[in-house]
Amino acid sequence: MNWITSIRLFFEKHGFHVSSRLADRLGMRATNVRLFFIYISFVTVGLGFGVYLTFAFWLKLKDMIYTKRSSVFDL
């Protein structure tokens, strides 16, 4: 067997075992727990992107308001 396939099978076996143990403890189905983790990962990525866009907007707004004024002596 290829070593990449064996690594993949190892992580699939032990990674799904974590989901199933958590689901057993909570009294849920394992597929619902896995879907929850997938949805949370998308939300956290989207949240980071939203914070980035907010900061970019604030910096652009600051640059539009506080522009450097020319000195009287530059005229």
State pLDDT tens for residues 4-55: 899 888 887 777 788 888 899 999 998 898 899 889 998 888 888 989 999 9
The whole-model pTM stands at 0.53
pLDDT at 52: 92
pLDDT at 8: 85
Q: Contact at 8 Å (CB) between 15 and 29?
A: no
Q: Contact at 8 Å (CB) between 3 and 21?
A: no
- What tokens were used for 12? 């699939």
Q: Is the pLDDT of residue 1 over 70?
A: no
pLDDT tier at 70, thresholds 50, 70, 90? low
Beta strands in the chain (DSSP E): none
